[in-house]
Amino acid sequence: MKKPLIALVAAIMILSSLLAGCDKKAEGNYSEYFNNFSSHKGCEAVSEKLVLDKDIFVDSYHSRSGLYLIKEAIKLGSQTYYNYGFATPDGVILAPRYAQILDINGDFAIAVKRQALGSSFTNKVGLVRIKGENAGKEMGFAHEYSSTTAPLYTFLDSKYLIMFGEKDRGGVYDYATVYDYTTANGMLEVGRVSNTTFSTTFSLRDGYLAAVGKSVVRYYYFDRIDSNGYYSLAPEGVWVPFTEADGFPDMSLVTVSVFYLGNGWYVETGMYTSATQFTGYEQTKTSENKTYYYINKSTRYNIKSGIRFPTDRVTLVANKYSSEYVKEMTAALNTANVYPDDKLPMYQPPIIPPSEFIKEGYSLVYYDFPFYDDSDKIRWGQSFSVYDKNADIINLEDLVMPLLFVDGVGLQNSDPVYELPGRELSYHKEDGSLITLMPVAEKYFYHPVMINDGMIVGYRADFNQGPGMLTTMMGAMSLDGSEIPYEFVELTMFVDGYATGSKIVVGADNKRTREFYRISKNGVITPIANVYSLKNGMYITKEGEKYGLYANDGRKLLDAEYESLAVIEHYLVDGLYFDAKVVGSKDGRGVIFEVTTKN
């Protein structure tokens, strides 16, 4: 597909040379900082494991809990709504009865329940035990819930939750109450947080509680409660990044984020964003043809000592503490399919959660930095540093983005927000050495995006199409330099020796169609028929109105007898690059499948 060439991002070597302000240079090899994952070996078999009751279907898979959300349509008056419940491959654990499932943690879920109110109904939010003894036991459901209001309940961890007001007094936002929700007698009050607002969010890390408002953050020691039952502020425990006295008059334009590094250290980030140019702004961004002006202030803060000092303009921190947030963000991006004109889902390389790249005790900290372009104008780039648990910055000088290692081969990986510039086709070894397979040529550059089964799949940009135009196509290369031609509009990972892909073919009537292929590691390209969508290691077929499933090597996994099929991939789990779940429906019943993978 051709795209107008607007501008090229500066080369990797130039960007790397601009990384400044780091506390220490990394010594040794990358295995000290980055995890190494194993390739997915392929699917051996797929078989029906659980068939749900009539008119009950699988809605989604919750990877953190390992539960499937199931749903059932209900009619209330002239309107159709859905109720939701929970299942595992071994059976239904709670039949659909809730209007929404807001969060799941351990054996509990925060849920919304419809309650009759005359001829209509109202939504109430509460807590339900979904597993173990007393599964189905409900707590709360005394307060009304609306999707336009802040969530009353927030899990802090597997034992504590916090809610605005208290369990018997909802709709109050100027204080919040922490409860132990695992006791035999239900929710037991532990302490309270003052000075909260509708927009306050909460996080509990290593015994430290952060209450993050729109323009201010307050920190508390979780084990220190005053005589009135409120948590005590930590030293220098209030951070306000922007004030009216400093020239920032509108606090509604401020957003604050905090990220925990470990050992009492936080990174704090404040953004002031305005549609009107203001004195001191640093960057601009465009959204829906409108320009916004903003400035980023970031600090490092130690909750034990109260020390606080400036740091890079941080945009995201990925580590074990932010893992749930980052994984949910990338999962949402990965499930947003792209549909071309023929309505067949278009394969997109997955966005991998960077929180899982980095080893425990370290954090990936993404930041913006200024540099001068060839015309001496200030431009802004994006890169990252590694922070240790003492908030010391470790400079990995040869990298602009962090490495995802699979089978000891590391590729620089775009984070969920920023794209890497085009570059050579290369990879890093764990000892820190760089192996270049294809250099940047006069009219070519590469964007390797994923590796599995010893094959690097990515894009090649070709400038041979004429002035101001480029063609970007997908292809692959083995670690020994054998090339799969860059001629595909979509190309999956190689799994168990094969990938699948498609090309756009122009017919005699100039009609453009997608044709699908199986591609072997040794370069044999074979047409495949009836393809509906491509997945990593599998592809879904459609024959008439029924769906089937095949492995990349051509083995039939499921006959085309299902009314729907979905392959749900999740990444960097239990030491594997990715794993897959399969769900579908047949004869008006949802089906959960058992997927057997090769060893």
**Quick check: 153 and 161 in contact, CB under 8 A?**
yes
227: buried, middle or exposed (CB in 10 Å: 19+, 13-18, 0-12)?
exposed
Q: Which phi and psi (to 5°) does residue 234 adopt? A: -75, 165
Q: What is the pLDDT of residue 190?
A: 97
Residues 6+ apart with CB under 8 A from 516: 500, 501, 502, 527, 528, 529, 531, 534, 539
Q: Lowest mean pLDDT: which of 444-453, 467-476, 540-549, 588-597?
A: 467-476
Give, in degrees to the nearest 5, the angle at Cα 310 between 307 and 315.
120
Give the mean model confidence (pLDDT) for residues 120-132.
90
**Quick check: 220 and 205 in contact, CB under 8 A?**
no
Q: Which phi and psi (to 5°) does residue 30 adopt? A: -70, -20
pLDDT band of residue 345 (cuts 50, 70, 90) is confident
DSSP H or E run through 12: helix 12-17
Task: State the pairing for strand pair 313-318/308-310.
Answer: unpaired
**Quick check: 144 and 123 in contact, CB under 8 A?**
yes
Each domain of the chain, given as residue ranges in start order, spans 3-10+402-597
Could you give the CA distance from residue 306 to residue 234 in angstroms, rounded to a whole number?
A: 7
Cβ–Cβ contacts within 10 Å for residue 356, how many? 19
What is the three-class DSSP state of 127? strand
525: buried, middle or exposed (CB in 10 Å: 19+, 13-18, 0-12)?
middle
Q: How far is CA 91 from CA 85, 88, 94, 136, 137, in A?
A: 12, 5, 9, 15, 18
Closest CA to 540 of 521, 562, 570: 562
Q: What digits encode the pLDDT tens for the residues 165-194?
A: 888 776 688 999 999 999 988 899 999 999
Q: What is the DSSP string of 231-275?
A: EEEEEEEEE-S--GGGT---GGGEEEEEEEEETTEEEEEEEEEES
What is the three-class DSSP state of 14? helix
Cα 256 off chain centre by:
20
Could you give the CA distance from residue 353 to residue 71 in angstroms, rounded to a whole number?
A: 28
Closest CA to 579 of 344, 404, 354, 350: 350
pLDDT band of residue 468 (cuts 50, 70, 90) is low
Closest CA to 170 of 156, 150, 189, 187: 150
Q: What is the pLDDT of residue 398?
A: 82
Cβ–Cβ contacts within 10 Å for residue 318, how many? 25
Residue scoring higher pLDDT (447 or 239) = 239
pLDDT band of residue 5 (cuts 50, 70, 90) is very low
Q: What digits encode the pLDDT tens for the residues 444-458?
A: 889 999 999 999 999
Across the beta sheet with 79-88, the strand order is 56-62, 67-76, 79-88, 91-98
342: DSSP letter: T
Instruction: Kindly report the length of the chain.
Output: 599
Give the mean model confidence (pLDDT) for residues 255-259.
97
Cβ–Cβ contacts within 10 Å for residue 362, how many? 20
* pLDDT reading at 127 higher than 70: yes
Q: What is the pLDDT of residue 336?
A: 63
* pLDDT reading at 465 higher than 50: yes
Q: What is the pLDDT of residue 415?
A: 56
pTM of the model: 0.88
Q: What is the pLDDT of residue 422?
A: 75
Rg (CA), the chain: 26
* pLDDT reading at 37 higher than 50: yes
Could you give the CA distance from residue 163 to residue 156 in angstroms, rounded to a whole number?
A: 10
Could you give the CA distance from residue 291 to residue 253 in angstroms, rounded to a whole number?
A: 15
* pLDDT reading at 443 higher than 90: no
Give the mean model confidence (pLDDT) for residues 27-41.
90
Residue scoring higher pLDDT (63 or 253) = 253
Q: What is the pLDDT of residue 104?
A: 95
Give the mean model confidence (pLDDT) for residues 475-486.
95
* pLDDT reading at 297 higher than 90: yes
Q: What digits encode the pLDDT tens for the residues 48-104?
A: 999 999 999 999 999 889 999 999 999 877 889 999 999 999 999 999 999 999 999
Q: What is the DSSP string of 169-224?
A: B-S--SEEEEEEEEETTEEEEEEEEES--TT-EEEEETTEEEEE-SS-EEEEEEEE
Q: What is the pLDDT of residue 419?
A: 64
Could you give the CA distance from residue 505 to residue 30 in angstroms, rounded to a whole number?
A: 43
**Quick check: 430 and 30 in contact, CB under 8 A?**
yes
- What is the overall mean pLDDT for the chain? 89
Q: What is the pLDDT of residue 11?
A: 34
Q: How many CA atoms lie within 13 A of 266 on its CB side?
A: 33
Q: What digits encode the pLDDT tens for the residues 410-422?
A: 999 865 556 677 7
Q: What digits encode the pLDDT tens for the residues 488-535?
A: 999 999 999 999 999 998 888 888 889 999 999 999 999 999 999 999
* pLDDT reading at 8 higher than 60: no
Residue scoring higher pLDDT (20 or 400) = 400
Partners of 25 in beta bridges: 395
Q: What is the pLDDT of residue 14?
A: 33
Q: What is the pLDDT of residue 25?
A: 55
